[in-house]
Amino acid sequence: MASTITLKRRINSIRNTRQITKAMELVAASKMRRAQEQALRSRAYQDATYRLLHRISGMSEVERQPLFRRRKIQNRLYVVITSNSGLAGAYNANILKLLTSALNADRSEGVNAKVIAIGNKGAQFCRRLREIELLAVFSAFGDHPTANDLRPVLNTIVDKYLKEEIDEVRMLYNKFQSNLVQVPTQVVLMPRPIEDGRSEHDFTNFEPDVETVLHHSALRLIEAQLWQAVLEGLASEQSARMLAMKNASDNASDLIDEYTLEFNTARQAAITQELAEISGGVEALKD
């Protein structure tokens, strides 16, 4: 049994740790509510972008557009959205597992993999891998990202795709489902899919011309999907961190209770031993 001094030090140390994890839990809970509101509020806009892309992809002119044109995949780019810091449960690990599975599939197919990392955790992971090329690293955009923050990411993706340095772009992020569930998601960002069949959209008039409208519309719609993925990742990160810190605080409380019981037992044993020694000394004096 550990001494009372050692147990007391352990209890104080765990109590200090619990104060830190409790504070982080409260901060994450506050940020989580704002992040969830942002993500849920913009989902309707994302759904509208998907419907508009579906409408555009039903036009015959999209086959001539670079952002829609498909080619043999030799180089694939992954946009990996993680956090800057840890202590968020399995938030980062789930995305990195998804990336690892995708990289293994690419290796078996002979496809070169490249990565743009949003968040330092993803960048740190990719730097340890030899078979991929880390093109760029963007630190996570804070609690209130703006469209200007995302524009360098979008410009890098579009520029390399139009130069045919990459043949496909996939985006990996955690989709917020609830405070307890965040779903690792992989979506194809570019090229945009071309729908089979044509409809009345072929007779739509565009100004100044259909090529200009398709190009700029596709850029804005891709930007909207990237923006939504960042918001979903932010809400998922704060939810995962709040839950992880709550579990850590609860575990610390359980440890404090266990060590307090052990401390009381050890102290009682020491008191009993001292009383026995005193009683033994008194009896010895009588003799």
Give the model confidence (pLDDT) of 167-191 as tens digits. Answer: 999 999 999 988 888 999 999 888 8
**210 assigned to some structural domain:** yes
Tell me which residue of 36, 51, 189 sits closest to 118, measured CA to CA.
Answer: 189
DSSP category for residue 32: H
**284 assigned to some structural domain:** no
- Please give the residue that has the higher pLDDT: either 131 or 75: 75
Given a contact cutoff of 8 angstroms between Cβ atoms, the answer to whether 138 and 116 are in contact is: yes
Give the model confidence (pLDDT) of 141-169 as tens digits. Answer: 777 888 788 889 999 999 999 888 999 99
pLDDT of residue 176: 92
Tell me which residue of 256, 268, 266, 258 sits closest to 11, measured CA to CA.
Answer: 256
Helix (H) or strand (E) holding 112: strand 112-118
Domain that holds residue 66: 59-195+204-241
CATH number at residue 70: 3.40.1380.10
The one-letter amino acid at 61: E
Query: Taking the CA atoms of the chain, what radius of gyration do you get in angstroms?
Result: 29
- Phi, then psi, of 84 in degrees rounded to 5: -80, -25
pTM here?
A: 0.81
Provide the domain count of the chain.
1
Q: Which residue has the tokens 């409208």?
A: 213
pLDDT of residue 236: 93
Given a contact cutoff of 8 angstroms between Cβ atoms, the answer to whether 140 and 119 are in contact is: yes
Give the model confidence (pLDDT) of 177-233 as tens digits. Answer: 888 889 999 998 888 665 554 444 444 565 666 666 677 777 888 888 888 999 999
**251 assigned to some structural domain:** no
Tell me which residue of 282, 267, 66, 51 sits closest to 157, measured CA to CA.
Answer: 66
**254 assigned to some structural domain:** no
